[in-house]
Amino acid sequence: MSERVAIVGVGAVVPRPQSRDASHREMIFDAATRAYADAEITHHEIDSFISVAEDIHEGTSITDEYVPDQLGAVLKPVQTIAGDGMQGVAVAFALIRSGIADLVVVEAHCKPSNILRHGDVLEMALDPVYERPLRVHPHYIAGLEMRRYLHDTGTTEDAVASVVNKNRRQALANPAAPYGGNVSTSDVLASPPVCEPLRSLEVSSYADGAVVLALASEERARRCPKPVWIRGIGWASDSPWLARREWSDAVYASLASGMAYQMAGIATPTEEIGFAEIDDTYAYKELQHLEAAGLAPRGRAGALTVAGETRREGRLPVNSSGGSLGMGYCFDASALYRIAEVTRQMRGEAGRAQIANPGSGLVISWRGVPTQTGGALVLGSH
Amino acid sequence: MLEYGWDAGVAISRFLDGLKAGKILGVRCNVCGRTVTPPRAFCELDFKPIDAWVELPDTGTINTYSICYITWDMKPLRKPQIPAVIEIDGTTPRAGFLHLIGGVKGSSVESIRKQLRVGMPVRAVWRKPDQREGAITDILHFEPVRGRRR
Amino acid sequence: MKRKPQRRVAVIGAGMSLFMRRALETGKELSYYAASQALETAGVRLKEIQAVVMATAPDAFDGVHMKGEWLLDGAGGVRKPYLRAYVGGGSGVFSIISGWTLVASGLFDLVLVVAEEKMSSCQPHPQGAFLTIFDHTIERPLGPNLLWIFSLEQHRYMATYGIRNEDIALVSVKNKRNALDHPVAQVAASLTVKDVLASEVVAWPVHRLMVSPISDGAAAIVLASEDVARRLSDKPIWVQGVGWSLDTSYWGNRDLAYPRYVERAARMAYEMAGISEPRRQIHVAEPYDPFAYKELHHLEGLQLSDKGKAPEDLARGRFERTGELPTCPSGGLMGVGNPIAAAGLMKLCELFWQLRGEAGARQVPGNPERGLAQAWGDLMQVGTVAILGVN
């Protein structure tokens, strides 16, 4: 029995800063309808469903209640993963490998526009006794991390700013990216500090969205028109405490990518990964994550970026979609937008954003401050 | 403090507009043939956009009710609240939503149970038109319809 | 189910903290106690654990956003693949399903499953965490609280089958009495049906003593792949079947008299376990009993009683610890307590001990070989089922 698993269907709504015309359930219905059409499947055929959501993002306790209808999942096995989109995909992968499901759907969505002050939500993610009483906007955690990363690796603020320049420019070729724009490195450096050295243009902007992916066993995937194969998947968490973390290293991303590479049989990622969609919730995270995933030597990701090697036409295209800086920050759905983009690239469906001869694609995800949880996925065309 | 401004969406927005106009709206799916309320933009069973909107009567039947003597933080209520699931007339199969029962005398379990039963017909009691705001509370409550049997 | 699972998964250790109204310990500390006990009984060190599953109910109890992340160090999740699946009250039993999935996939050989709840942090009353479970636009403006939906469902169940409150009160009596033998129990008691019905009506037809308490507590188990289980344990208890199902969110559109989602979940688990006659093949059951009527309601959904007949089965002693099908020999949520996710996993810990013959004063007679645990949650909507057995 083959144990291979493929992504066979992708459906997403275009992320946008506001989505007043549709409830989140209506947006998910739209994304699911697209995903099922893309995979040429019906809702009756799906064995298991996974929703990725957090109560306080939704403003609903036990938000799992509001999952099944818009996926066509009434009275089916449905579960909610309170985690990263990648963890949802990992569970889908595991369900198929266990043998109890051939076709599994993963959904993630977000409506940041419905949260009046997201800073208040983030603050609630901090330890209520030790950390929250400081009453500082949680972006400061990114500021602390960026400072230490720059200090330890010698990465320049220019290099971090060039990530913003690259991703927002690349977003101009992606019709699903609301934040495309010509933003120069000096524009970024001139933007006001949020928590110095972190500048406002280095923080990705919110977007509302919904993504649905369909995954299938090899046998089932052969009956779908455009399977893209999962070569490896991994995820990991590091300590939640602010007082006990490696501020300059994304250890979770090293562990997650290590797990995915081992499964994929990848020894030298720089040679075997053709392109990547990497979490860039804050611009410096793209650099930190590239190094954690072994795609750049420590302290070199910045220079590679400045040299243009991570542009769409470069040696290792990164965030050809525009990333979260270009497409918007979609909470835990961000991972699924990244995966959707890699899938489209591998199918040759990325239009003006298409990378020539993409090869195997890598996704690195992160749950945002204050977490140290992230995932990795390696996709291949065969 | 956490605050949200939820987008109600296509279907519930129209339902709320209906309430403001003193109407209970439902939707119909041509595949399964069901007419249901609260309205939804898609049929969750057939997984397709809904086919038609229908205006339902503001009468229905008590599916189940409860006589609640406490608040959420366990403070006693002298006058109980009577939540109920109301099956709205004209839905197939008979379906409905959560609301409150009013127009009932007394406050003891015994006296209230004498006036209510599962399967009893009820009618919506509306706010005055100029006081409605397009919310579920534009219906104040449902009250028993005396002398009418289903 | 498409194919037979390729790999077998066993429970090799279990642990629990005390269940209590207000623990001095934090949720992380409670998790640590339960996890340590499970690891110790399994003979496994944390560094050998390859992945960790956490189950915990609404973030609102703790007032912590992404509380799975916050709790992870207490559960031993640092620098490991860590996962929190969340299906409301069904999460405790679902946690073994998450762990089973990870081991059965071949990704991991040793997984620690921890379930934690600290409800007491929520002020002024933990029910506040449930105010926002209702639809924000068409239900919350009516001011619903959690008791409403249970009392509505219980009344529909009673009205449909002509069940009396006396029949339902007997569940409280049985479970609170069973809990007298559980060393971690919070609300064990020796009561009569009269006592239960004499307690105040909170939301008719529900009386106070028909409701499980507010609790803090944690439970944990260790899961292993077949080879590892045989190496580490001389009495592994096998996960024979798992099932889960979620019904529509439009709960006013459903028949509340019968939990069809529990039936779906049970049928999925029975098929995997190769069970065709559950009433004969299940020897001990831990149905979910956060409210007294729920145990009866669930026994019917599980196909362990006919529709509307569970009260009669209970009255004739079928579900006593020495009866034909002992249910909630632990004392259940009505007796041991209801730290939500931990209470679900407590039921699986109980099966582990019952099937190993280690349940002490709670041991059901006759060397049971197969047991079932079930939980339920969301808007009366989700069923989660796991079946454990000695082979």
pLDDT digits (tens, 9 = 90+) for C17-56: 999 999 999 999 999 999 999 999 999 999 999 999 999 9
CA distance C337 to C298: 18
How far apart are the CA of C241 and the nearest CA of chain A, in angstroms?
A: 11
Backbone angles phi, psi at C113, to 5 degrees: -115, 120
The whole-number pLDDT of residue B146 equals: 79
- Is A204 within a domain? no
Q: How many CA atoms lie within 13 A of B65 on its CB side?
A: 31
How far apart are the CA of B100 and the nearest CA of chain A, in angstroms?
A: 22
Stretch (H or E) spanning B26 = strand B24-28
Contact C112, C74 (CB under 8 A): no
- Is C328 within a domain? yes
Task: Report CB contact under 8 Å: C81, A102.
Answer: no
What are the tens digits of pLDDT across the range C239-263?
Answer: 999 999 999 999 999 999 999 999 9
- Is C2 within a domain? no
Ramachandran region, residue C265 (left: φ > 0; alpha: ψ -120 to 50; beta: rest): alpha
The whole-number pLDDT of residue B148 equals: 54
Task: Report CB contact under 8 Å: A117, B9.
Answer: no
* Residue A62 and residue A133 in one domain: no
Residues of C in contact with B97 (CB under 8 A): 138-139, 252
* Residue A292 and residue A339 in one domain: yes
- Its domain, for residue A151, covers 118-197+229-380
* Averaged pLDDT, B53-70: 98
Q: Is B142 on the interface with C (CB under 8 A)?
A: no
Pairing between strand A5-12 and C110-118?
Answer: unpaired
CA distance C268 to C221: 23
- Is C272 within a domain? yes
Share of chain C above pLDDT 70, in %: 99
Q: Which residues, including other chains, have CB under 8 Å from residue A76's CB and lie 6 or more apart?
A: A46, A47, A48, A49, A68, C245, C246
Residues of A in contact with C243 (CB under 8 A): 77
Q: Which residues, including other chains, have CB under 8 Å from residue C289's CB and lie 6 or more apart?
A: C171, C175, C212, C295, C298, C328, C332, C333, C334
* Residue A266 and residue A186 in one domain: yes
* Residue A275 and residue A187 in one domain: yes
Please state, as a whole number, how many other Cβ atoms lie within 10 Å of the Cβ of residue C108.
21
Share of chain C above pLDDT 90, in %: 97
Residues of B in contact with A59 (CB under 8 A): 2, 4, 6
pLDDT band at C1 (very low <50, low <70, confident <90, very high): very low
* Residue A35 and residue A148 in one domain: no
The whole-number pLDDT of residue C191 equals: 98
Q: Is B133 on the interface with C (CB under 8 A)?
A: no
Dihedral, A249, A254, A255, A259 alpha carbons, nearest 10:
180
* Averaged pLDDT, B94-119: 96
Please state, as a whole number, how many other Cβ atoms lie within 10 Å of the Cβ of residue C209.
21
Domain closes at, from A186, A221, A256: A221
Counting the structural domains of chain C, the total is: 1
pLDDT at C173 over 70: yes
Among B122, B96, B101, residue whose Cα is nearest residue B39? B96
* Averaged pLDDT, B118-146: 97
Ramachandran region, residue C320 (left: φ > 0; alpha: ψ -120 to 50; beta: rest): beta
Q: Is B135 on the interface with A (CB under 8 A)?
A: no
Contact B64, C152 (CB under 8 A): yes
Dihedral, A166, A170, A176, A182 alpha carbons, nearest 10:
70
* Residue A272 and residue A143 in one domain: yes
Report ipTM for this prediction.
0.97
Residues of C in contact with B99 (CB under 8 A): 142
Task: Report CB contact under 8 Å: C253, B95.
Answer: yes
- Is C333 within a domain? yes
Please state, as a whole number, how many other Cβ atoms lie within 10 Å of the Cβ of residue A258.
19
CATH of the domain at C242: 3.40.47.10
pLDDT band at C6 (very low <50, low <70, confident <90, very high): confident
Q: Which residue of C has its CA nearest to B86?
A: C252
CB–CB contacts below 8 A, A to C = 208
Residues of C in contact with A240 (CB under 8 A): 69-70, 72-73
Task: Report CB contact under 8 Å: B40, C148.
Answer: no
Residues of C in contact with A238 (CB under 8 A): 78-79
Domain closes at, from A155, A188, A221: A221
* Residue A244 and residue A351 in one domain: yes
CA distance A330 to B109: 50
Does the pTM surpass 0.90? The reply is yes
pLDDT at B147 over 70: no
Helix/strand/coil for C166 = helix
How far apart are the CA of A165 and the nearest CA of chain C, in angstroms?
A: 32
* Residue A69 and residue A140 in one domain: no
The whole-number pLDDT of residue A1 equals: 52
Q: Which residue has the tokens 């459903």?
A: C254
CATH of the domain at A364: 3.40.47.10
- When CB atoms are compared, the residue of C63, C65, C102 closest to A94 is C102
- When CB atoms are compared, the residue of C3, C73, C133 closest to A65 is C133
What parts of chain A have a pLDDT lower than 50? none
What are the tens digits of pLDDT across the range C66-119?
Answer: 999 999 999 999 999 999 999 999 999 999 999 999 999 999 999 999 999 999
* Averaged pLDDT, C337-341: 98
- When CB atoms are compared, the residue of A70, A72, A116 closest to B3 is A116
3-state helix, strand, coil in chain B (%, to 5): 15, 40, 45
Task: Report CB contact under 8 Å: B6, A114.
Answer: yes
CB–CB contacts below 8 A, A to B = 63
pLDDT band at B150 (very low <50, low <70, confident <90, very high): very low
Q: Is A76 on the interface with B (CB under 8 A)?
A: no
CB–CB contacts below 8 A, B to C = 113
Mean pLDDT, chain B, rounded, equals: 95
- Its domain, for residue C311, covers 9-123+213-389
Counting the structural domains of chain A, the total is: 2
The whole-number pLDDT of residue B93 equals: 87
| Long-range residue pairs from A301-310, CB within 8 A, at least 24 positions apart, any chain | A301/A155, A301/A159, A302/A153, A302/A155, A302/A156, A302/A159, A302/A160, A302/A162, A303/A159, A305/A159, A305/A162, A305/A163, A305/A166, A306/A158, A306/A159, A306/A162, A310/A166
pLDDT at C2 over 70: no
Segment among A293-302, B129-138, B140-149, C121-130 with least mean pLDDT? B140-149
- Is C242 within a domain? yes
Q: Which residues, including other chains, have CB under 8 Å from residue A275's CB and lie 6 or more apart?
A: A316, A317, A318, A320, A342, A345, A355, A358, A359, A361, A362
Mean pLDDT, chain C, rounded, equals: 97
* Residue A182 and residue A146 in one domain: yes
- Domain positions in chain B are 9-144
CA distance C339 to C362: 21
